[in-house]
Structure 1
């Protein structure tokens, strides 16, 4: 259900498929906004035997957003040591990134709605993408999705 006075864009959608295992994926969809400071959207994880969805992830319009994180990963296409991570302010979406030899980035997408609630749940899926062009394309697609701009 769309909250009154909000804008819903059923057409906008970004799906990330794992290069190594195509049934594994993450989809950003059902974007809407109450004001100019934030955008709300749903995130779905799919993998064999797993389907999970968080309906209202909030992205605040500022410098430390998901697109900035993805753009920094794309810029580091020659690799890095250890794990890099990003999360929403509410901690309902976390993305962790590792670099493996051969020029691939593993993105582990973790959904954990209502992390402070007793009896909560969490689900994760990992997608592997090429460090260069695929990461840059993903960053651009997510930016377009979150801003509502056409590519």
Structure 2
């Protein structure tokens, strides 16, 4: 079994993405269990991810690879979210060589009665080598 992807360290915030599954066996939709830990907070959800037939730029791996490719920086905030918003990322470049990557997990399913939860942590990554390694490791886990 393939190992999970982990961003962060045991002493600080950690984001864990487990190997994706193909629940319908058709390659169109994958699910991945994901966890977030920070300062006593522990959150876990299952995110629906675009499968093999999605445009690469719209996938989680494609989003992270685009951040790594633009290591010199960009203006504003870039965002990505899973098919049903259980996992969302936002990224800001500080113009000095660092990327602030926000990871938000949400309860799966609809929130008609306003009782859903969300959890967020922000990771700081060096815009060059560290982002490139992060993108490659995540792409490898996701099979892209």
Please state which band the TM-score falls in when normalised by the shorter chain.
0.7 to 0.9
- Check if 1:59 corresponds to 2:55: no
- 1:138 aligned residue (117, 121, 134): 134
- Check if 1:112 corresponds to 2:103: no
Cα distance in 1 between the residues matched to 2:95 and 2:128: 13
Aligned to 1:84: 78
Q: Give runs of aligned pairs for residues 1-150 of structure 1, distance below 5 A.
A: 9=1, 11-17=2-8, 22-34=11-23, 35=25, 36-54=27-45, 56-61=46-51, 62-63=54-55, 64-114=58-108, 116-117=110-111, 118=113, 119-147=115-143
Instruction: Indicate if the aligned counterparts of 1:24 and 1:125 stay in contact, CA closer than 8 A.
Output: yes
Structure 2 residues without counterparts, runs of 5 or longer: none
Runs of 4+ in 1 over 4 A off after TM superposition: none
Could you say what the CA RMSD is over the residues aligned between the two structures, in angstroms? 1.9
Cα distance, 1:124–1:88 mapped onto 2, change above 3 Å: same
- Give the TM-score of the pair, scaled to structure 2: 0.86
Length, aligned pairs only: 136
Structure 1 residues without counterparts, runs of 5 or longer: 1-8
Normalized per residue, the structure richer in strand is: 1
Shift of 1:115: 6.0
